[in-house]
Amino acid sequence: MRLKVSFLAIIMNFALTQVMAQPGSAEEPARFVGNLDVAFDRPDGKLPPVIGAQNYQVLRAVRSDTSLGDGLGFTLHHHPMLSYWNDNFYVLYNACPEHEERGLTEILLSRSTDGMNWSKPDIIFPHVVYKGEPTFSNHRMGFYITPSGRLLATTAYFPQSEMIPQKGSEDTAKKYFGVVVREIQQDGRFGEIFFIARNSSLYEADEFPFPYYTQSSDSVFISDCNSFRNDRLVTLHWWEQLRPENFNFPKSLTEQIVKGNRKFAKAISYYSRPDGAIIAFWKNSKSAISHDQGKTWSKVVDLKTFSDGYAKVWAQRTDDGRYAASWQPLGEGSWGRYPMLWATSEDGITFDHAMHVNGEVTMRYEGGSKNIGPCNYQRGLYENGADIPGDDVWVVYSMSKEDIWISRIPVPMKEKAVGYINQDFESTETTLELQRWNIFHPAWAPVTISQRLSEKNTCMKFSDRDPFDYAKAFRVFKESKDELVVQLSVLAEQHDHGRFEIDLGNTEHLAPIRISFTPNGKIEIEHWKYTSVIADYQNGIWNEIQLKIDIAGNRFSVTANNVTMDDLVFNSRKVQTLDRITFRTGNHRGISINPVEPEKDLPLSKEAVYFLDDVRVDIKK
């Protein structure tokens, strides 16, 4: 009888464990069920793009000319944060001369009215000198919109990067002074800097470089700060900056600290499920659930299906009622922070459909702790903040901890197109209106919508004066195995410098066919093993291009300026479909991490400009 009872208990315990470990439970708050077969030899990981994702450079690092870049000549920029308030975008980020948390840190703020064009940054939190040495700053959140409608910026100061040595302890927290806030006023000016929370157990009262917020003469500001401090969910961003004895963090989390180790709750992002549950995602694949708006939490667990130990993660509910999450996939061959993977979910529990948003990886300057790729602290808008008009998801991030970028991602996020292309750009004012075009828009190589002064004709304009980057746009169309007809018009404003490439391909094979406008005035066709000149081109004259592609028959023809080349070999029969066309002001580069000479990293004296119009891709009728 005992054996029967024991066996029954084992069966019941196993069944109970299986039920408790279901996705959406405290044992597994979320699960990724998609394909994580990522190719780390390519910046996009061979993942399909989110259709219509557009990437705009907020800040381009420049070392040798302080009139450019951040105005300081600093080349490490990290921890970007996003807010939208008073009809403006705000991005806050830290800046160090060359290496992360070495030398000093200034906290910078950039503004934009449209998300595409960004102001030169201001220093909103300057470094201070403590005991003869400059301080450092970083943060896990950057903004708070108060109950009175004010916008507060926030960061955290610490005087040195040494860790706290405690024998037998795993506590490696920096010696932060604490968290500071500063009001961003509607006229663009900044208020005074105050500590909103301090580590009084580490420093004497006269050692803090700024006053405590209760010393402000502004009673509304004090009330807003009290509301900030009392938000049990939002203040979890302060977990690393404040020691538990100095702030009232949820007991359910502080009880999970072992030997001072608080690493399990770093860099929170979260969303609300329809049932009211809050799902928290932390760095290093950690997660937990709260059913009371962050007052108490379940045991922190590992999300093994999302990648074991990813760096930062961003997760949110989208305006269509679905959910999206972005993280750095890991696996055999991974070594940088790329690609920027995004996945979607119907219920906030099960995620699927791995896609990428920015398929570029660049780094120009060497520096300490510079992880290459765009998965350096991607952050969007938190649920308690103001919403950006429209249904799109906006996210900021640091490319290789060097340049700051923002992406506009259409909702719902899709990886497959349902139709072909018939685009003339008429009645289009900005690229943001092109919901199905993917854009890569560096500060010195923008992609814009323009009307040439000599013509009443609206088209897409590619400008490039960047010595190490390019402008790029591409359009995904319905995957085709049939015969395709491609037509487009290109005008170059020069024929003695610059390069413009047009690729036809798919996720697996980016360019089985490539047409290039070369720096010596030639239009070339590259296919399979061959490169041939089709025709010449002149500056200021439209060039008409047409391709007829028989994918299954492995043949195609190309016509440029009434010159035709027939019966060309399409490829070596490895490419069975086509689903996108790409336009780029330079050679395809893959992963670009070659250090540059700072004095050469300046805008080119000769700008290359190309116009694109009347793009049509369709099956042969």
DSSP codes joined into one string, 348-361: SSEEEEEEES---E
Compute the average pLDDT of residues 452-463.
86
Going by DSSP bridges, is the β-strand pair 500-505/447-451 parallel, antiparallel, or unpaired? unpaired
Lowest mean pLDDT among 128-132, 289-293, 445-449, 571-575: 571-575
Kindly state whether residues 403 and 472 are assigned to the same domain.
no
| Residues facing residue 484 across a β-bridge | 549, 619
What are the structure tokens assigned to 363, written together?
Answer: 């780094």
Distance between CA atoms of 93 and 108, rounded to whole angstroms? 5
| Residues facing residue 451 across a β-bridge | 458
pLDDT in tens, 78-110: 999 999 999 999 999 999 999 998 899 999 999
Q: How far apart are the first and last CA of the chain?
A: 78
Kindly state whether residues 348 and 470 are assigned to the same domain.
no
Compute the average pLDDT of residues 522-551.
95
Kindly state whether residues 111 and 153 are assigned to the same domain.
yes
- Give me the pLDDT at residue 607, please: 98
Kindly state whether residues 240 and 369 are assigned to the same domain.
yes
CA angle at residue 515 from 511 to 518, to 5 degrees?
125
- Give me the pLDDT at residue 166, please: 60
Kindly state whether residues 335 and 439 are assigned to the same domain.
no
Kindly state whether residues 205 and 351 are assigned to the same domain.
yes
With H, G, I as helix, E, B as strand and everything else as coil, classify residue 597.
Answer: coil
- Give me the pLDDT at residue 168, please: 58
Indicate whether 22 belongs to any domain.
no
Predicted confidence (pLDDT) at residue 16 exceeds the cutoff of 50? no
Distance between CA atoms of 447 and 161, rounded to whole angstroms? 41
Dihedral angle computed from the Cα positions of residues 337, 341, 347 and 350, in that order, rounded to the nearest 10 degrees: -80
Indicate whether 3 belongs to any domain.
no
Indicate whether 611 belongs to any domain.
yes
Kindly state whether residues 401 and 451 are assigned to the same domain.
no
| Residue 92 contacts residue 379 (beta carbons within 8 Å) | no
Kindly state whether residues 402 and 451 are assigned to the same domain.
no
Show which of 409, 437, 457 is a domain's final residue.
Answer: 409
Predicted confidence (pLDDT) at residue 142 exceeds the cutoff of 50? yes
Compute the average pLDDT of residues 275-287.
95
With H, G, I as helix, E, B as strand and everything else as coil, classify residue 395.
Answer: strand
Of the pLDDT bands very low, low, confident and very high (cuts 50, 70, 90), residue 12 is very low
Predicted confidence (pLDDT) at residue 573 exceeds the cutoff of 90? no
Compute the average pLDDT of residues 366-382.
93
Going by DSSP bridges, is the β-strand pair 563-569/88-96 parallel, antiparallel, or unpaired? unpaired
Give me the chain's average pLDDT, please. 93
- Give me the pLDDT at residue 391, please: 95
CATH of the domain at 319: 2.120.10.10
Show which of 360, 379, 409 is a domain's final residue.
Answer: 409
Distance between CA atoms of 461 and 452, rounded to whole angstroms? 9
Greatest CA separation for the chain: 96
Compute the average pLDDT of residues 427-449.
97
- Give me the pLDDT at residue 4, please: 42
Nearest to 213 by CA among 202, 203, 204, 225: 225
Compute the average pLDDT of residues 550-578.
93
Kindly state whether residues 311 and 457 are assigned to the same domain.
no
What are the structure tokens assigned to 462, written together?
Answer: 């590619």
| Residue 79 contacts residue 59 (beta carbons within 8 Å) | no
Indicate whether 17 belongs to any domain.
no
pLDDT over 90 percentage in the chain = 86
Nearest to 467 by CA among 60, 15, 119: 60
Indicate whether 219 belongs to any domain.
yes
| Residues facing residue 31 across a β-bridge | 350
- Count the domains in the chain: 2
Residue 123 dihedral angles phi and psi, to the nearest 5°: -80, 115
DSSP state at residue 99: S
Distance of CA 203 to the CA centre of its chain: 37
With H, G, I as helix, E, B as strand and everything else as coil, classify residue 219.
Answer: helix
- Give me the pLDDT at residue 403, please: 98
Rg, Å, the chain Cα set: 27
pLDDT in tens, 384-401: 777 899 999 999 999 999
Indicate whether 390 belongs to any domain.
yes
Kindly state whether residues 216 and 337 are assigned to the same domain.
yes
Show which of 409, 444, 468 is a domain's final residue.
Answer: 409
Predicted confidence (pLDDT) at residue 136 exceeds the cutoff of 50? yes
pLDDT in tens, 299-329: 999 999 998 778 789 999 999 999 999 999 9
CATH of the domain at 578: 2.60.120.200
Dihedral angle computed from the Cα positions of residues 159, 163, 166 and 171, in that order, rounded to the nearest 10 degrees: 110
Indicate whether 451 belongs to any domain.
yes
Nearest to 413 by CA among 389, 440, 395: 395
pLDDT in tens, 160-219: 755 565 655 666 678 999 999 999 999 999 999 999 999 999 999 999 999 999 999 999
Kindly state whether residues 455 and 399 are assigned to the same domain.
no
What are the structure tokens assigned to 483, written together?
Answer: 């015969």
- Beta strand spans in 506-577 (E): 513-517, 522-527, 530-536, 542-550, 555-560, 563-569
Of the pLDDT bands very low, low, confident and very high (cuts 50, 70, 90), residue 125 is very high
**Domain interval for residue 322:** 28-409
Indicate whether 13 belongs to any domain.
no
Kindly state whether residues 524 and 390 are assigned to the same domain.
no
Long-range contact pairs involving 213-221 (C-beta distance under 8 Å, separation at least 24): 213/181, 216/192, 218/191, 220/148, 220/150, 221/150, 221/183, 221/191
The H or E element containing residue 197 is: strand 190-198
Higher pLDDT, 7 or 463: 463
- Give me the pLDDT at residue 63, please: 97
